[in-house]
Amino acid sequence: GCKAEADTFDELYSEFSKKGVQVVGISMEEVEALKESNAGRKVELLSDADGAISEQFDSELKVPLIGAKLGFSARNTFLLSNKGEVLSVWQEGKNMGNVKNGKHAAQVLDSVAENIKSSNPLVSLFG
């Protein structure tokens, strides 16, 4: 789940840093609730308690048919340029590698390398 995904991004943190990529996690939990999750992490988890970022990236989970908000974000990863342009998107259940075995973070790192070849300055955002 979320911890396993964050762990794999932590493991590859130095590889992302060498490429000049900033990796952050976004959670709909309150700041206080994230303090424990952030302890000892290289990748910082940021609070999106009001859901504004999740909604902007169409990642906020809602009850089917009635659209009621659940207060959780879908597991999506976005690779952004330093201008905020979305370069790549990974969505759980679609094109996202397994987060528990580290394949997903490696997928993102591969995409970073491809975008660097294309001269796209990057940041990576996962939720």
The domain locations on the chain are 2-126
Using alpha carbons, select from 14, 25, 2, 22 the residue that is nearest to residue 80: 22
Does the pLDDT value for residue 47 go beyond 60?
yes
* CATH architecture entry for 2-126: 3-Layer(aba) Sandwich (3.40)
Q: What is the pLDDT of residues 78-109, one digit of tens each?
A: 888 877 888 888 887 676 767 667 788 898 99
